[in-house]
Amino acid sequence: MKTHSFIVSAAVAAVVAGTSAASADTLRLLTWGGYAPEEVVAKFEAETGHTVEVTKSNNEEMIAKLRATRGGGFDLAQPSQDRIAGPQAEFGIYKPIDLSKIDASQFIPSMLEATKGNTTVDGEVYGVPHVWGTSGLVVDTAKASSVKDYTDLCNADVAGKVSYRLKRPTLIGFAYSMGLDPFAAYGDEAAYAEIMGKVEDKLIECKANVKTYWGGGDELMGLLRSGEVVASMAWDTGGWKLNADMADITFVAPEAGALGWIDTFVLPAKGKADDAAYAWINFVMQPEVAAMITAAAGNFTASQGADAYADDALKARYQASFPQEAIDNIKWYPPVPAGLEAIEGGVLDRVKAAN
Amino acid sequence: MRTEAKVGLGLLLTPLLLWLSLLIFIPHVDMFIVSLQERIGVGKYQTSLANYLTFFQEPLYLWTFLRTAVMSILATLMTLLIAFPVSYYIAKMVKGRLQSALFLMCLVPFWVSELVRTFGWMILLRETGIFSNLLQFVGLADGPVEMLYNDGAIMLGLVYTSMLFMVVPLVTTLESLPDEVIEAGYDLGGSGLSVLREIIIPHAMPGIVSGCIVVFMLSLGNYLTPTMLGGKESLWFTELIYSQFIVRFNWELGSAFGFMLLILSSAIVWGMLKLTGQSLEKTMG
C-alpha cells in the first residue's frame, strides 16, 4: 500500500512538473542587470498577457548555463554579439531567429546589419541587437590626470590605486594600447598567442600597481566611491553613474580606443515560448520603452528614435566622454572564434599567479 | 515476514540510496566522463587523459593546489588552537545557562550567510574601513592601512568561517569527560600540562580529528572567502575550477581539476590520519 501511494505521488509530481514547464506564456529571460526594469516588465505583462521571469547574469554565465542544459531553461537570452557565433558552432545552444517576426523598422539599420553579419552561422542569423556601449577607463580626473590610456594604469603616480578585471576586455585593451592589433589576429591562433604573450608580460609587470582585480560592478563602484581606487578599466555607464554624484570621476575614452560591445537577443535552442520572446523583442525596441531601459541600464539601445526620449544629463555625459574622433576610434568586438578563450585563459591564470 | 522486513528495509534505505546515487554518484560519473574528453576541433572531442596531463605539466596548477592545501592545513591548525580553549571553557569551566549562552554565541554568526559575514570582514579590513580608521585615530598609523587583499586576510576569513565546525565536536567530546577523571589526575600528582597531555587531549581525540577533517575540507573547498578577501592575491584551487567552467568554457579541464581536488584532498586526509596514528573508525566510535 505504501509503495503504491509512493508511486502515485511520484507520478503526480512528475505530471505537475511537466505541465508547468510546458506552459507557453511565461517568458524566461536571461539578461543583464538593468535590461528588464520592473516598470517595463509590468507594462509588457499588462499589454500582452505573458508573464516574464527575469534572471540576471553575464556573458560567461549565460553561455555556461545554456551549455549545461544544451540550450534549455530559458526562452530568450542576451549575450554580446561577439559571443554568439563561436559558442553556436561549438555547442549548438541557440536557434536561428525568424527575421519576419521582428519589426526591423524599429532598429537602427547599421547596427542591425552589423549584428546580423556577426551572428551568422551557416547562413542563419542568430542575433539581433539590443543595448550597446563601450568599456574604457573610469578615472578620478583630479587625482589621476595622467591616466589617458589602458597602459597608463601602470604609471608610478597611481601605484596601488588602480583596478581592472582579470578578463578578456583587459587583454584586448592593453594589446591596443601597446600598439598591437588583437582583432586582426583573431583568425590566426599563433599570432594571437604571440600578442597575448606580450600582454601577459605587461600585466605581470603592472600587477604591483593594482589594488585588486575587480569582479563585479558593485565592487568597483565601492572602490571608486571610497577613493581607494582612482583609475580603473570599466564600462562607460559605471563612470557616468559615479559622475552624477562625484563630479571629478567620469568615463574617459582611452587614446587607443574604447572597446565597443553590443548585447543582443538570441533564442536558446530549447526555448519554449518563442512567440512571447518575439513579442518581448518588438515591445522593448519601441522608442519609449527603449528609453526606459536606457534610463535603468545607463546605456543606449539599438532602437531607432529612442534618443529623443533619453535623459539630457545622460546625453551630456555621453558627449563629454565621446568627442567625434573617440566615437570613430571605438574598437567593436568582432566574433570570437571558438578556441581563443583557451589561449586567453592560460594568460589570465598566469597573471593571477604571478608575484 | 522475512520478505516484509526486507521490503521495509529497502524502503528505509531508499532516500539514502536516492541521495547517494542521484546527487553524488551519478554526477561524479558524468564529471569523470567529461574530464576524459579532449577538444580536438570545433565541437569535436576524443577520449584521452590530456586534461590530467595538463594538471601535472603546468606548474601553475600544481603550485596553486599545493598553496591551497598548505593554507588549508594552516587554517585548520589555527582553528584548532583557538577553538580548543574556547571549547574547554564552554564544556568544563561553566555550567547551566551560561554554558548554553556561550555555546549559542558561537552559533549566532552562522545565522547570517557566509557572503554577509565576508562582507562584514571587508568593511572592517579595507583601507577606508573601521580598523584602519581606528588605528589612525589612536595614532598607531600615519596614513590609511590596507589589511584586505592578502594571505593574512584569507586566513582570518577561513578561521572565522570554520570555527563553529571545530567547536561543536570538541564541546561534545569534552563534555563526555567526567570531572572526576581530571581531578584524579591532579590527585595523582599531575601538573596542568601533564593532565592536558595525558588525559584531556587523548579523550578529546575523536572530536579533534573529526573537527580537523571537516575544517580542512571546508577550507579547501571554500570559494567565497579566498576570492573576496584575497583579491588579486587569492589564487585558490576552487577559483581555478570555477574559471575553467564558467569563464573559459573548458568543462573538460575543469572536471579534471575537480577530480584531482577530490583525490588529492582525500589523500591528504588519509595521510594525516596515518601520520597521527588515528583512524576513521576510532573517530566515529
* DSSP calls for A201-216: HHHHHHGGGEEEE--S
Q: What is the mean pLDDT of chain A?
A: 88
Output the pLDDT for position B232: 82
CB–CB of B35/B245 below 8 Å? Answer: no
Q: Are residues A66 and A170 in the same domain?
A: no
Q: Are residues A172 and A313 in the same domain?
A: no
> pLDDT grade, residue B39 (50/70/90)?
confident
Closest residue in A to B249 (Cα–Cα): A64
Q: Are residues A29 and A111 in the same domain?
A: yes
Between CA B233 and CA A327 the distance in angstroms is 36
- Does the residue A12 lie in any domain? no
A89 contacts in chain B (CB < 8 Å): 42-43
Output the pLDDT for position A288: 92
ipTM over 0.90: no
> pLDDT grade, residue B285 (50/70/90)?
low
Domain count, chain A: 2
Q: Are residues A78 and A64 in the same domain?
A: yes
Cβ neighbourhood burial of B31 (10 Å; 0-12, 13-18, 19+) = middle
pLDDT digits (tens, 9 = 90+) for A244-293: 889 999 999 999 999 999 999 999 999 999 999 999 999 999 999 999 99
Question: Is the confidence at residue B46, as pLDDT, over 60?
Answer: yes
Give percent of chain A above pLDDT 90. 63
CATH T-level topology, domain B51-282 = MetI-like fold (1.10.3720)
Higher-confidence residue of A12 and B183: namely B183
Q: B11: distance to nearest CA of chain A, Å?
A: 8
Which site among B244, B247, B253, B255 would you substitute to test the A interface, given the most A Cβ atoms closer than 10 Å to its Cβ? B247
**Alpha carbon separation from A94 to A334, B67, B273 (Å, rounded):** 19, 40, 50
A213 contacts in chain B (CB < 8 Å): 231-232
Task: Determine the average pLDDT of the residues in B105-116.
Answer: 88
Residue A29: name the closest of A310, A261, A291, A284 by CA. Answer: A284
State which residues form the domain around A141.
Answer: 134-258+334-353
Question: Is the confidence at residue A6, as pLDDT, over 60?
Answer: no
pLDDT digits (tens, 9 = 90+) for B121-135: 999 998 888 999 999
Q: Are residues A347 and A226 in the same domain?
A: yes
Output the pLDDT for position B284: 63
**How many other CB atoms are there within 10 angstroms of residue A4's CB atom?**
8
Q: Are residues A222 and A320 in the same domain?
A: no
If you ran DSSP here, which 8-state letter would residue A107 be given?
A: B
> pLDDT grade, residue A26 (50/70/90)?
very high
Q: B284: distance to nearest CA of chain A, Å?
A: 34
Q: Are residues A114 and A172 in the same domain?
A: no
Which of A63, A92, A348 minimises the CB distance to B249?
A: A63
pLDDT digits (tens, 9 = 90+) for A49-101: 999 999 998 888 899 999 989 999 999 999 999 989 988 988 899 999 999 99
Taking CB atoms and an 8 Å limit, are B232 and A207 in contact across chains? Answer: yes
Task: Determine the average pLDDT of the residues in B267-273.
Answer: 91
Closest residue in B to A92 (Cα–Cα): B43
Higher-confidence residue of A25 and B134: namely B134
Question: Is the confidence at residue A311, as pLDDT, over 80?
Answer: yes
pTM: 0.82
Taking CB atoms and an 8 Å limit, are A228 and B127 in contact across chains? Answer: yes
Taking CB atoms and an 8 Å limit, are B232 and A211 in contact across chains? Answer: yes
Question: Is the confidence at residue A186, as pLDDT, over 60?
Answer: yes
- Does the residue A98 lie in any domain? yes
Residue A284: name the closest of A44, A97, A33 by CA. Answer: A44
B240 contacts in chain A (CB < 8 Å): 349
**Four-CA torsion A268, A269, A275, A280, nearest 10 degrees:** 10
Q: Are residues A198 and A162 in the same domain?
A: yes
User: B202 phi and psi, to 5 degrees?
Assistant: -55, -40
How does DSSP assign B4-34, residue by residue? HHHHHHHHHHHHHHHIIIIIIIHHHHHHHHH
Q: Are residues A113 and A87 in the same domain?
A: yes
Q: Are residues A253 and A268 in the same domain?
A: no
- Does the residue A249 lie in any domain? yes
Closest residue in B to A225 (Cα–Cα): B128
Q: A296: distance to nearest CA of chain B, Å?
A: 26
CB pairs under 8 A between A and B: 74
Question: Is the confidence at residue A18, as pLDDT, over 80?
Answer: no
- Does the residue A190 lie in any domain? yes
Question: Is the confidence at residue A20, as pLDDT, over 70?
Answer: no
The CATH number assigned to the domain holding A272 equals: 3.40.190.10
Which of A215, A338, A350 minimises the CB distance to B60?
A: A350
Which site among A90, A210, A344 would you substitute to test the B interface, given the most B Cβ atoms closer than 10 Å to its Cβ? A90
Q: Are residues A221 and A148 in the same domain?
A: yes
The domain limits of chain B are 1-47, 51-282
Tell me whether B251 touches chain A (CB under 8 Å). Answer: yes
> pLDDT grade, residue A12 (50/70/90)?
very low
